[in-house]
Amino acid sequence: MTTLQTGDLQCGFTPGMGFGFGWAVVKEPQGVHAMLSKGTYGHGGAFGTQGWIDPGQNLFVILLIQRTGLPNADASDLRKELQRLAVEAIKR
């Protein structure tokens, strides 16, 4: 389910993403997921909830919010900052 199935197709809600069977997969870390490892997988919800697992850094990030009007929650600054802080914390 977490193995990339979409190859070089451009897909997903942010650049550098692909899909396995049911999970979004980081193909090329950039933008909102620049701090995550290639192969990180997860999924975002319609109202901003996010869940991502990064086996390369032994890290998981869960953002539990329910917010309407959050344009493209997958690319939100809130998600980016939470992930940045989580990666920073494990490197200490």
Please name every residue paired with 25 in a beta bridge, in sequence order, or none if there are none: 18, 41
Domain containing residue 35? 31-90
Structure tokens at 3: 């193995």
| Model pLDDT for residues 22-66, shown as the tens digit of each residue | 999 999 999 999 999 999 999 988 888 899 999 999 999 999 998
Q: How many domains does the chain have?
A: 1
Amino acid found at 51:
G
In percent, the amount of the chain with pLDDT more than 90 equals 67
Is 72 part of a structural domain of the chain? yes
Residues across the chain: 92
9 in a structural domain: no
Q: What is the pLDDT of residue 42?
A: 96
- Distance (Å, whole) CA 41 – CA 27: 10
Angular region, 26: left φ>0, alpha ψ -120 to 50, beta rest: beta
- Residue 76: what pLDDT? 85
